[in-house]
Structure 1
């Protein structure tokens, strides 16, 4: 490919990325291992080779920080929380929060997940089968309820809907990545639409702060993440400041529910499109569960169910792009990387790359079954990121997705509204454009 054509492809991507990043990727990028262009004096690298992904995200991760685009999208709502912070603050907060998602806590979380999921199932059971529901919204409300119950010990009730609306409003105002961030213009330069998300953040805060204040007034002892944050003392014996406490609660809330809801949405869409896969899923559920609700002990037995989740994450990764900026010089794929270069890794492109996958666009859960590990090259599949900043809620999220997929698939055959166009919209996360309207057809359970 000529230099001029590559430059035009890159400029086209940068322009279209503001509206929908995954639709902006040129077809040529799905066959290229590395794209390097200089745009307005800024070095931009797009990495599609597992070795280079490892270099930037793992082996030399200390040389790369989250890019301005990442920080600008998240900072208004997450402040200095774990997913925005860098350096010593990030290290301290990561160490503090990690125990909340440790494997030894998963069994207790699993019970809460299924109990909360059962409430949603029963609510939907009361509706007419001809009724169309936006599955994305239903699942987001459900996973929102789960994360607040498991991590903060709170049932939100009507406040759950307020949080949902606040985040949808925030996505509408901050979901687009602006050209100024993609090419690294300074943070002090105004971005279009910056003021529109303030009302959304205020509404979001009204709920988050009420959760914190409710706990602070309580005399009861809780064994959850919020209690860990409130009891924290630094080396000088100082407690966590209220602002940072708020930022960490907000970070865990958003990271702990949004991606799982989107993963399940795409999974049910893919099952609708592939009835033969759906039948294999139903067969496994009948064999393992025999009509009862899933439990923590069932998760290892639900191999095909998990494979459906992992293949859904491959085709539609909720976190569809990772962006880093070089703190110092480096060399990637034999090419010098100057300080300040922008390194882009699109999990959406990587997961569908023609050189890395057999039948990359096909929905084939079998590639993730036990004994098929050779089908997935290391660092070609990164739905949770990689390296020091890998999502610490990975095991929580995977277990939640498996349990809820099993629970809902036992009760419902989800059918997409006739004629509804399904398009992945890549902004802050990879959501279906215009939602996922589905008819929840009840299944008979023997």
Structure 2
């Protein structure tokens, strides 16, 4: 642990920080097993780090203005990192996370109306209903029976995303979709040929594994699309869930609707981004609360004052300021989307830094959120980091759990409302403590998962 460990406050788990760069073989192995385990101690202290790996130049952007330059000001010169694209495309196709250029702009235009506040208020009722049902189940667990809160958060967000995506088709085998997505995540890992910048014709076995893992999900989603289109052709409605809204979406500039393949790709993207990331953020939130009774007490005091025992509703979101601060701090310490990267199309310059064409620029929320230059006590759990006065003083682009620039997560509003409503509904009904002896560590795959889970003892909250 760093010197910060001697300061007051809970220091949550993080991987060992190395004093020097890892040997190549160790680096490649660590990247495949846990991406955040590769960062050296100086990575949390320096603004810009440039190095070469194989045939590629890499730049780690730890400077807020460099992040702004790459993600916003000169975003047209920086495309999605091809390594990341190749990892995700076998499962997500050409959806919003992986598309580029005119394809991405068209998709973004067509989907923006789906995430307007008037839509989110309708989805919020589903979030509250599913959360209240989970609270009922957890409140009656036998004394001494442990539960994995990471798994429980996955289950409740799975139910929520399924109901918001497939609400008009209640008989959908959502569990099969979830299993397919879990199998897919296992296959998504950096290939050594990609990391070394080798040509595309060099085999990448994980791409084949990813497509196979998603076969069940493809069959289910394509069947749903066919049934909805048949229903509409017979004079019925497409439905007000995400699937129906996607099928009804029209590009206001170019005209035309999405093809079945485009709808399939967006549904797969929504399922991953709208289920996995929120669940992961909430799992880490429970872990952090269990280690800081003072924060938990302040959270519960707000819930009592605002909710008075009833489930949280859409209209409560703005009132639950401290609850939101707790979630935001959990995403600072454990950003679900821990790393992203861009590739320079043409040579570029930032100050004295020359960025050659083809260079990969890495933007790591994991690093920025714990950076010594921009955060006081960066490793300490402190929701007051998001009090209005501190937020106003913080430099932009030092907190980016949803990305930044034109490609900032379109579902940011959905995710924050969902996380706050789930936490509020559960935390006023139950108290959760870590299982004695449990050790949790962050592992960076597609998302930053707590491994091997968050085992907890749960009991009804004392009146």
Both structures adopt the same fold (TM-score exceeding 0.5): yes
Relative to structure 1, is the Cα distance of residues 233 and 311 closer, same or farther in structure 2, using a 3 angstrom cutoff?
Answer: closer
For residues 26 and 65 of structure 2, what CA distance do their matches in structure 1 show? 27
For residues 124 and 207 of structure 1, what CA distance do their matches in structure 2 show? 30
Alignment of 1:159-198 (within 5 A): 159-174=173-188, 176-198=189-211
Relative to structure 1, is the Cα distance of residues 433 and 100 closer, same or farther in structure 2, using a 3 angstrom cutoff?
Answer: same
Task: Report if the CA contact (8 A) 1:303-1:370 is conserved.
Answer: no
2:151 corresponds in structure 1 to 137
> What secondary structure sits across from 2:32 in the alignment?
coil
For residues 346 and 107 of structure 1, what CA distance do their matches in structure 2 show? 32
2:289 corresponds in structure 1 to 271
1:15-64 CA-partner distances (Å, limit 9, x unpaired): 42111011121111111111111222321101111011111111111100
For residues 316 and 96 of structure 1, what CA distance do their matches in structure 2 show? 31
2:214 corresponds in structure 1 to 201
Deviates more, 1:436-445 or 1:275-284: 436-445
> How high is the TM-score relative to the length of structure 1?
0.93
Q: Is 1:17 the counterpart of 2:31 in the alignment?
A: yes
2:137 corresponds in structure 1 to 123
Relative to structure 1, is the Cα distance of residues 34 and 140 closer, same or farther in structure 2, using a 3 angstrom cutoff?
Answer: same
Deviates more, 1:157-166 or 1:74-83: 157-166
1:386-440 CA-partner distances (Å, limit 9, x unpaired): 0010001111111111111101111111222222210100011100121222222
Deviates more, 1:309-318 or 1:163-172: 163-172
Q: Is 1:433 the counterpart of 2:451 in the alignment?
A: yes
Q: Is 1:318 the counterpart of 2:336 in the alignment?
A: yes
> What secondary structure sits across from 1:18 in the alignment?
helix
> What secondary structure sits across from 1:17 in the alignment?
helix
Q: Is 1:405 the counterpart of 2:405 in the alignment?
A: no
CA positional deviation for 1:293: 1.1
CA positional deviation for 1:283: 1.0
Relative to structure 1, is the Cα distance of residues 353 and 127 closer, same or farther in structure 2, using a 3 angstrom cutoff?
Answer: same
Task: Report if the CA contact (8 A) 1:233-1:240 is conserved.
Answer: yes
CA positional deviation for 1:161: 2.0
For residues 423 and 24 of structure 2, what CA distance do their matches in structure 1 show? 38
Q: CA RMSD in A?
A: 2.1
Deviates more, 1:217-226 or 1:310-319: 217-226
1:91 corresponds in structure 2 to 105
For residues 66 and 52 of structure 1, what CA distance do their matches in structure 2 show? 16
2:8 corresponds in structure 1 to none
Task: Report if the CA contact (8 A) 2:34-2:445 is conserved.
Answer: yes
Relative to structure 1, is the Cα distance of residues 105 and 132 closer, same or farther in structure 2, using a 3 angstrom cutoff?
Answer: same
> How high is the TM-score relative to the length of structure 2?
0.89
Alignment of 1:249-268 (within 5 A): 249-268=267-286
Task: Report if the CA contact (8 A) 2:225-2:260 is conserved.
Answer: no
> What secondary structure sits across from 2:247 in the alignment?
helix
Alignment of 1:378-393 (within 5 A): 378-393=396-411
For residues 358 and 180 of structure 1, what CA distance do their matches in structure 2 show? 39
Relative to structure 1, is the Cα distance of residues 238 and 305 closer, same or farther in structure 2, using a 3 angstrom cutoff?
Answer: closer
For residues 41 and 159 of structure 1, what CA distance do their matches in structure 2 show? 45
Runs of 5+ unmatched residues, structure 1 = none
1:289 corresponds in structure 2 to 307
> What secondary structure sits across from 1:372 in the alignment?
helix
Runs of 5+ unmatched residues, structure 2 = 1-18
1:338 corresponds in structure 2 to 356
Task: Report if the CA contact (8 A) 1:100-1:225 is conserved.
Answer: yes
> What secondary structure sits across from 1:165 in the alignment?
helix
CA positional deviation for 1:77: 0.7
Alignment of 1:407-426 (within 5 A): 407-426=425-444
For residues 386 and 297 of structure 2, what CA distance do their matches in structure 1 show? 17
Relative to structure 1, is the Cα distance of residues 131 and 375 closer, same or farther in structure 2, using a 3 angstrom cutoff?
Answer: farther
